[in-house]
């Protein structure tokens, strides 16, 4: 006896659980740190459904019509994607966000379903460490699925022709991928973690498990028998537990977390295919209706969250969620559903083919042209720029005597104040550090390239700590630092990218938090906290000096954090703590004979309250907009240009 698929509302209910988990995770809710695993549930469901359909077609016709299969996938996926990409392009012309025009470089990879590899090799920021979140960031998972849709039907048809058990083949392949993932991951190696999280091979285990399950269910529909409800409850409980505990950059995710999510998803699918209570729960109509719309909800929610800046405000989050539902329902009714119906498609085919071709080519050309234009000309000022004219200029030639700042403006490790003749401009600088560094880099003012060739080496959520937990809000906010281990490797990659002469180190956002390590809570300024900070900073400095670059430590500013509804982190407003760390950095600089410098930042952050609290300078009181970036560069440019560097 073989299983007949038909419509299973329980699978749509499982899709609903998945997309809700992902949306809550993307909303920045700290109580569901593992919500991203909803994507893994999608992978297992997709592997199951696609393979079940292929098996049913093979049983019914004796073959698999690849052309029709791919056409059905195109009708299912492309119309909504085209509408979303077009809408985002139009809206982005009027609504400027932190992602800004830079996102248009992501359009081509998204359009051709290679977004995951583009984010691995083409974007200078790890997926899990992006401090400014790309509008199309979430399309990596659709790329993985589409690559599966292209390859798997060919492989499945080949296996069926040779009477090879798809269940056995997929089970063995999935196990091999899981073992490879566990062995290849390395703590502190951001590239490997990025590759494993986004890569088609490493994420194929869920698709393969789903395919194997489809094979076994096809051969034996009553796979679980009377145990279906028990298995389903265990699967559901496991997923909920994983949603509540897993971290995206945790090594444990790749050494068991993903495997557990995959197997739990398979258990829920198997239970949902039975006629038990678990199946009836997931077939609940409201849940199933959400699941039927899950593709569109996934497409639309993230761009709208970014446009509304929803993660930092509960009212904006609720508004963005409402708009997501309304927009998606409109597209679902008038684009997605008609596109799947043969009569709608036939009606399009009856139109003048030249009209259809012209419209299709026009939409595609719009997306490609916009993307190529941005790829050729790097975007600037990608967040709201209220002044409208943030153009960088030095007040005078940096080599002129009038521009030589007093000794107090830059503390250098050598005893001489002699300024060597300037090497040719622009000076090559890698901006490294936490998300402040990214904001400074991405919002660099126009005209800066005449003086500085800048590259980004930031890591969101990572300063110089590699262990312990950042402790804020009396423990309501906690930031584990174990995922920051090996942060200097990321810094070195940025240095290598433009053969940097100077590494500008931007710190403070995380070092001002209390540090909890080995059960002890260490406020900033305590002897043990100072010892750990000094050890880690010296490690970073020594690594950079060994690479042959000069090191410039940027003064930690006076932060004025804006309270948000989830993690205000008032500890960052500790001016005394920042001053203490600055003094400590100055003392560290003085111990190096050469090559290490302390660079004073703008006095305005501490002495000019209207500027320090102006959100057009720092949109959250910590990270700079274009005006804030311009203020910093105007303050530090002369200091950076005075740092002796090789002429090469």
Q: β-strand 514-517 against 502-506: which pairing, if any?
A: unpaired
3-class DSSP state of 552? strand
CA atoms within 13 A on the CB side of 250: 17
Question: For 199-203, 220-224, 506-510, which range has the lowest pLDDT when averaged over its residues?
Answer: 220-224
3-class DSSP state of 550? strand
Strand partners, 433: 458, 506
Nearest-angstrom CA–CA distance, 72 and 90: 28
Q: Which residue is it, tokens 């690559």?
A: 147
Give just the sign of the alpha carbon dihedral 188, 189, 191, 193: negative
Q: β-strand 452-458 against 502-506: which pairing, if any?
A: unpaired
Question: For 200-204, 410-414, 559-563, 621-625, which range has the lowest pLDDT when averaged over its residues?
Answer: 410-414
Joined tokens for residue 91: 């809206």
Average pLDDT of 478-502? 87
- CATH code linked to domain 427-642: 3.40.50.1110
Joined tokens for residue 164: 């090879």
Question: For 231-245, 284-298, 335-349, which range has the lowest pLDDT when averaged over its residues?
Answer: 335-349
Q: List pLDDT tens digits, range 40-71.
A: 999 999 999 999 999 999 988 888 899 999 99
Q: Residue 412 pLDDT more than 90?
A: no
Give ranges for CATH 3.40.50.1110 in the chain.
427-642
Nearest-angstrom CA–CA distance, 459 and 376: 25
Helix, strand, coil percentages (3-state) for the chain, rounded to 5, are 60, 10, 30
* φ, ψ of residue 555 in degrees (nearest 5): -55, 135
Nearest-angstrom CA–CA distance, 200 and 118: 12
pLDDT at 85: 93
DSSP states of 194-263 = HHHHH-HHHHHHHHHHHHHHHHHHHH-S-SSGGGHHHHHHHHHHHHHHHHHH--TT-HHIIIIIHHHHHH
- Mean pLDDT computed over every residue of the chain: 83
Residue 161's CB is within 10 A of a number of other CB atoms, namely: 11
Q: Smallest Cα–Cα separation from 507: which of 617, 422, 433, 438?
A: 433
- What phi-psi label fits residue 473: left (phi over 0), alpha (psi between -120 and 50 degrees) or beta? left
DSSP states of 10-22 = HHHHHHHHHHHHH
In sequence order, what E strands does 544-632 have?
Answer: 550-554, 596-599
Give just the sign of the alpha carbon dihedral 232, 234, 235, 236: positive
Q: Smallest Cα–Cα separation from 84: which of 318, 363, 371, 338?
A: 363
**More confident position, 412 or 222:** 222
pLDDT at 398: 42
Q: Smallest Cα–Cα separation from 236: which of 274, 269, 276, 285?
A: 269
**More confident position, 97 or 331:** 331
Nearest-angstrom CA–CA distance, 442 and 429: 14
Angle at the Cα of 429 (from 441 to 106), degrees rounded to 5? 40
Q: List pLDDT tens digits, range 569-626.
A: 778 889 999 999 999 999 999 999 889 999 999 999 999 999 998 888 988 889 898 8
Q: Which residue is it, tokens 């402040």?
A: 436
Query: pTM of whole model > 0.85?
Result: no
Q: Smallest Cα–Cα separation from 249: which of 178, 174, 185, 310?
A: 185
Split at pLDDT 50, 70, 90, the class of 407 is very low
Q: List pLDDT tens digits, range 520-549.
A: 899 999 999 999 999 999 999 999 998 889
**More confident position, 532 or 313:** 532
pLDDT at 311: 75
| Run of H or E residues at 141 | helix 140-161
Q: Smallest Cα–Cα separation from 385: which of 305, 443, 307, 313?
A: 443
DSSP states of 75-131 = HHHHHHHHHHHHHHHHHHTT---SSGGGGGGGHHHHHTT-HHHHHHHT-SS-GGG-S
Query: From the centroid of its chain, how far is CA 473?
Result: 25
Q: β-strand 427-433 against 452-458: which pairing, if any?
A: parallel
| Run of H or E residues at 412 | strand 410-412
Q: Which residue is it, tokens 């798809």?
A: 166
**More confident position, 379 or 26:** 26
pLDDT at 221: 79
pLDDT at 284: 95
Nearest-angstrom CA–CA distance, 320 and 641: 45
Q: Residue 357 pLDDT more than 80?
A: no
């Amino acid at each position: 006896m073989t299983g007949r698929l038909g419509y299973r509302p329980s699978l749509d209910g499982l899709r609903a659980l998945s997309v809700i988990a992902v949306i809550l995770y993307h909303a920045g809710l700290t109580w569901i740190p593992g919500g991203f695993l909803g994507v893994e549930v999608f992978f297992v469901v997709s592997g199951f459904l696609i393979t079940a359909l292929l098996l049913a077609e093979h049983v019914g016709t004796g073959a698999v019509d690849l052309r029709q299969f791919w056409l059905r996938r195109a009708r299912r996926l492309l119309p909504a994607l085209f509408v979303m990409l077009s809408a985002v392009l139009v809206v982005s012309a009027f609504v400027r966000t932190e992602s800004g025009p830079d996102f248009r470089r992501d359009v081509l990879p998204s359009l051709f379903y290679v977004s995951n590899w583009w984010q691995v090799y083409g974007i200078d920021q790890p997926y899990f460490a992006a401090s400014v979140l790309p509008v199309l960031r979430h399309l990596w998972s659709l790329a993985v699925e589409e690559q599966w849709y292209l390859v798997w039907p060919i492989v499945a048809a080949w296996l069926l022709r040779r009477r090879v058990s798809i269940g056995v083949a997929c089970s063995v392949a999935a196990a091999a991928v899981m073992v490879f993932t566990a062995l290849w991951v390395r703590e502190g190696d951001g590239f490997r973690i990025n590759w494993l999280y986004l890569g088609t091979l490493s994420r194929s285990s869920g698709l393969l498990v789903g395919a194997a399950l489809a094979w076994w269910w096809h051969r034996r529909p009553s796979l679980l028998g009377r145990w279906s409800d028990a298995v389903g409850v265990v699967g559901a409980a496991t997923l909920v537990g994983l949603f509540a505990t897993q971290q995206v950059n945790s090594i444990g995710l790749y050494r068991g977390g993903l495997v557990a999510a995959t197997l739990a998803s398979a258990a829920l699918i198997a239970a949902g295919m039975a006629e038990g209570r678990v199946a009836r729960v997931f077939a609940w109509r409201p849940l199933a209706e959400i699941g039927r719309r899950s593709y569109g909800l996934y497409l639309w929610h993230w761009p709208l969250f970014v446009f509304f800046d929803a993660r930092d405000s509960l009212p904006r989050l609720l508004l963005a969620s409402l708009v997501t539902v309304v927009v998606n329902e409109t597209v679902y009714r008038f684009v997605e559903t008609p596109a799947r119906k043969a009569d709608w498609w036939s009606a399009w085919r009856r139109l003048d083919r030249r009209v259809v071709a012209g419209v299709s080519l026009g939409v595609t050309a719009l997306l490609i042209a916009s993307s190529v234009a941005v790829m050729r000309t790097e975007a600037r000022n990608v967040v709201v720029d209220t002044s409208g004219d943030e153009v960088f200029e030095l007040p005078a030639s940096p080599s002129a005597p009038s521009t030589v700042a007093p000794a107090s403006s830059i503390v250098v490790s050598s005893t001489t104040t002699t300024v060597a003749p300037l090497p040719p401009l622009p000076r090559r600088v890698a901006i490294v550090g936490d998300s402040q560094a990214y904001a400074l880099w991405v919002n660099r003012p126009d005209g800066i390239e005449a003086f500085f060739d800048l590259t980004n080496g930031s890591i969101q959520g990572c300063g110089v700590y590699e262990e312990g937990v950042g402790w804020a809000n009396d423990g309501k906010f906690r930031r584990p630092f174990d995922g920051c281990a090996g942060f200097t490797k990321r810094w070195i990659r940025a240095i290598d990218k433009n053969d940097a002469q100077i590494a500008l180190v931007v710190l403070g956002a995380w070092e001002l938090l209390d540090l909890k390590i080995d059960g002890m809570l260490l406020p900033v300024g305590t002897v043990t906290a100072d010892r750990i900070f000094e050890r880690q900073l010296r490690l970073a400095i020594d690594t950079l000096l060994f690479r042959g670059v000069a090191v410039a430590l940027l003064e930690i500013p006076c932060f004025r954090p804006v309270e948000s509804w989830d993690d205000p982190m008032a500890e960052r407003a500790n001016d005394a703590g920042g001053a203490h760390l600055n003094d400590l950095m100055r003392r560290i600089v003085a111990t190096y004979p050469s090559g290490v410098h302390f660079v004073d930042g703008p006095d305005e952050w501490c002495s000019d309250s209207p500027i320090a609290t102006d959100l057009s300078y720092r949109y959250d009181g910590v990270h700079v907009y274009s005006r804030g970036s311009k203020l910093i560069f105007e303050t530090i440019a002369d200091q950076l240009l005075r740092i002796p560097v090789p002429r090469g």
